[in-house]
Amino acid sequence: MPAARPTPSAPDAPGGLPGAGPERLRAMLAAGDVAGFNQARAAGELDLSGLVLSGVVLDGVHLDGCDLRRADLSAASLIGASLNGAVLDQASLVRAVLERATFRRASLRQADLRSVRAREVDLQLADLVRANLSDGAFRGARMKGAVLYDATVAAADFEGADLDGANLASALLDRTKFTRANLHGARLYGTFGEDVVFTGANLTGAEAMGARYRGEATTFEGAYVRGFVNDGLGRGSDPFANAIRDQEPPPGEFPVHDLPPEDTLLIRGIPGTSQKLWDAAMKDLNELVGLERVKDQVRRIFDRMLYRHERQQFGLPVTEISYHMVFKGPPGTGKTTIAEIVNRLLTAIGHHKKGQFVSTDPDGLIAQYVGQTGPLTHAKVQEAMDGMLFVDEAYGLTEGGEQGYGPQAVRALLLDAENYRDRFTCIIAGYDEDIERLLRFNRGFRSRFRILIPFENYSIGELVEIMTARLAKYDFEYDTELLARASVMYALRKERMDREERSGSGIKFANGREVRQSLESVEERIATRIAGEAATRQRLVALATDDLPFEELTGIAPGAIPMAALRWNADGKELASGALPLTGRFPELAPASLARLYSLLPG
């Protein structure tokens, strides 16, 4: 029977009443004993990660500061509950009732809040990065200063909500309603969607460079748009024909809510920094699988930045320095992920005042007609001002040589990189040989982009760790046999593609993307395998080794693999497949086993 990855449990600790340890407190919540829980729980952190409370009535419960990562609160009732400072990353709150609940400064990263009823919920300063709020009812919600970066907010209703200063950069806003919502000073960079309603909203001082709103039902009728910074929103006609362009909202039209008392800690006491943002970004950096040399280099960059800040605190001079960077390495090795984390660290340290992450490729910098490329590149830089511009596949700027429009984009980018080096950070990324060609194409890159971070292929063991992290995220269950088979699959897949590349295929092994694509095939195979069977939780989450697309990726039938003869190296010991760990670092295949496997490949 497939074995689930175990969920870590915290040791029992004294609660507010004798014997009220974590297990008893968990049982109280599962039974809906809110009064007993509130009385028994001691102040401080409490590990409730992975707890299943689906459908439980928990109105008025006090869960401040609790760790509820991956908890199942779907269809639960949390009316008037208090979850200030709680961690609900990857938690499920689908169809939950959150009316008048408070989540101030809570972390709900990648949480699922689809179809919630959240009238007058308090999400001020909450972290909702990549959360899903689709179809949610957030009328009258307090979301001042909330961060909804890259969130999915399709068909959500924010009528009368306070989103003053909220960050919705890159969020999906399909059919989202902001009727009479307060979006003063909100960051809407790169948001996109169809039929977005801003009727009567307050958009004064908001910024939406790069935003694109399609659909005939998109409207700003009666919205206050004085000082609303945008570049046309992708609309062919004037989107503000029926908006109020030259007036501020009358006093009292949009209620003012004071932020909860600020307890922001400064990094080493340096003004303008945020220890909370720093710790969150560093945590994400440290938890990435592999990339140890990359992570060490990033840490050294920021050690130097902090050193410079501390010199300035003592009135000492500092040299001028640019933080533009070059990321080079194989595909699927986390270059975009690292860039996003670096941007967050630069924002935490105060180098980026706004912190938006603008990602593009050469097509976003090169125009089709004479004279348009320079202005297009400058506009993209302006969109990233006080944040980061990430140019992926940057070698495309050299295509066409000096006769193409690429050199114009290069010159414009280098000019802005020099003139605005204190206002934004640019990272160019691509494969090793292509980046080297770009650096030779214009010597200005080496002088302005002085930080070079090389990325390497993941090891086979690290690819398995990436796979298990994704499986755990979606509650799949598996055993050591499946992990052993996956290890062999990725080893053969990589060797097969490396040989084909050396033969001129031009296609590289895609590392993390290979894992993602293989898991998409796994899901297809599960769906086919259980089609027509009655759905049970076990059938939906239990994986079998045959669910792996082994032959599809390697060209070798699974039966041809001598699994019993293979060994993996772990701390100087050789392990058979049955002794492999389900958690933690995954061992690497022993060299003799790799040689035996590679001999099965043709050629």
CATH of the domain at 367: 3.40.50.300
- Cα 455 from Cα 474, distance rounded (Å): 28
Q: What percent of the chain has pLDDT over 70?
A: 94
Residues in the chain: 603
- β-bridge mates for residue 172, sequence order: 152, 192
- Cα 162 from Cα 180, distance rounded (Å): 9
Which band of pLDDT confidence, cut at 50, 70 and 90, is reported for residue 223?
very high
Amino acid at 332: G
Q: Residue 207 is part of a domain; what is its CATH number?
A: 2.160.20.80
Residues 245 and 281 in one domain: no
Average of per-residue pLDDT across 145-174: 92
Residues 318 and 447 in one domain: yes
- Cα 589 from Cα 483, distance rounded (Å): 12
Q: What b/e string do you get for 334-345 counting C-beta neighbours within 10 Å, with b at 16 or more? A: bbbebbbbbbbb
Q: Mind listing the pLDDT tens digit for each residue in 494-534?
A: 999 999 999 988 899 999 999 999 999 999 999 999 998 88
DSSP string for 103-124: -TT-B-TT-B-TT-B-TT-B-T
pLDDT at residue 454 tops 50: yes
Number of structural domains in the chain: 3
pLDDT at residue 39 tops 80: yes
Q: Is residue 113 within 8 Å of residue 90, measured between CB atoms?
A: no
Query: Would residue 517 count as lying in a domain?
Result: yes
Q: What percent of the chain has pLDDT over 90?
A: 65
Domain C-terminal end among 260, 275, 294: 260
Which band of pLDDT confidence, cut at 50, 70 and 90, is reported for residue 19?
very low
Amino acid at 315: G
Q: 32: number of CA atoms within 13 Å, CB side?
A: 8
Q: Mind listing the pLDDT tens digit for each residue in 564-595?
A: 999 999 988 999 999 999 988 999 999 999 99
In 3D, which of 202, 189, 207 has the Cα closest to residue 252?
202
Residues 287 and 420 in one domain: yes
Residues 429 and 512 in one domain: no
Which band of pLDDT confidence, cut at 50, 70 and 90, is reported for residue 8?
very low
- Cα 359 from Cα 443, distance rounded (Å): 24
In 3D, which of 420, 25, 437, 419 has the Cα closest to residue 428?
437
Query: Would residue 27 count as lying in a domain?
Result: no
- β-bridge mates for residue 391, sequence order: 360, 428
Query: So what's the pLDDT on residue 534?
Result: 87
pLDDT at residue 213 tops 90: yes
Residues 147 and 251 in one domain: yes
The model carries a pTM of: 0.67
Domain limits for position 533 = 460-598
Query: Would residue 87 count as lying in a domain?
Result: no
pLDDT at residue 18 tops 80: no
Query: Would residue 522 count as lying in a domain?
Result: yes
Question: Cβ atoms within 10 A of the Cβ of 304, count?
Answer: 12
Average of per-residue pLDDT across 178-197: 93
Average of per-residue pLDDT across 186-197: 91
Residues 241 and 276 in one domain: no
Domain C-terminal end among 217, 245, 260: 260
Residues 471 and 587 in one domain: yes
pLDDT at residue 443 tops 90: no
Average pLDDT in the chain: 89
Q: Mind listing the pLDDT tens digit for each residue in 479-495?
A: 999 999 999 999 999 99
Residues 388 and 465 in one domain: no
- Cα 145 from Cα 131, distance rounded (Å): 16
- Cα 133 from Cα 113, distance rounded (Å): 5
Pull the structure tokens for residue 165. Answer: 């200063």
Q: Mind listing the pLDDT tens digit for each residue in 232-261?
A: 898 888 899 999 999 999 988 998 777 665
Question: Cβ atoms within 10 A of the Cβ of 365, count?
Answer: 27
Q: Is residue 474 within 8 Å of residue 516, measured between CB atoms?
A: no
Residues 232, 240, 185, 419, CA torsion sign = positive
Domain C-terminal end among 260, 275, 303: 260
